[in-house]
């Protein structure tokens, strides 16, 4: 049975290419799946062999630690700009997210509003 070693959703192409090259450099056989047209499937990098999967996870973890050390923190403004850009690229997801937030808030507050 295959093991998912790296999820590709929301991963920049540059980082995904680095992970692919890392696995190739370590002679780890892998295959990829895409999310598909409707983004319903799992986009990721998979390894069939369990021993190679452990080795791949180790290599990827080390790479992610090194990558995290070179990253710089972002400001709140940059984070908000990123959220706005994501919402523009995925408007349906944004609408469903806002609907879910409103529904949860409504259900959470409704019992207390009945007492007024």
**Alpha helices for the chain (secondary structure H):** 13-25, 50-70, 76-89, 91-113
Q: CB burial class (10 A; 0-12, 13-18, 19+) of residue 45?
A: buried
Q: What is the pLDDT along the chain (116 residues), one digit of tens a residue?
A: 899 999 999 899 999 999 999 999 999 999 999 988 888 889 999 999 999 999 999 999 999 999 999 988 889 999 999 999 999 999 999 999 999 999 999 999 988 887 66
Report the predicted TM-score, pTM, of the whole model to 2 decimal places: 0.64
- What's the fold here for domain 3-70? Alpha-Beta Plaits (3.30.70)
pLDDT given for residue 48 in this prediction: 96
pLDDT given for residue 73 in this prediction: 86
- Terminal CA-CA length for the chain: 57
């Amino acid at each position: 049975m295959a093991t998912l070693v790296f999820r590709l959703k929301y991963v920049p192409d540059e980082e995904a290419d680095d992970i692919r090259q890392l696995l190739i450099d370590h002679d780890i056989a892998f295959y990829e799946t895409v999310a598909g047209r409707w983004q319903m499937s799992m986009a990721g990098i998979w390894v069939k062999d369990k021993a190679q999967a452990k080795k791949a996870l180790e290599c990827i973890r080390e790479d992610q630690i090194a990558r995290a050390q070179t990253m710089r923190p972002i400001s709140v403004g940059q984070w908000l700009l990123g959220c706005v850009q994501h919402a523009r690229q995925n408007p349906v997801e944004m609408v469903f997210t806002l609907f879910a937030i409103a529904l949860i808030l409504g259900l959470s507050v409704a019992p207390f509003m009945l007492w007024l």
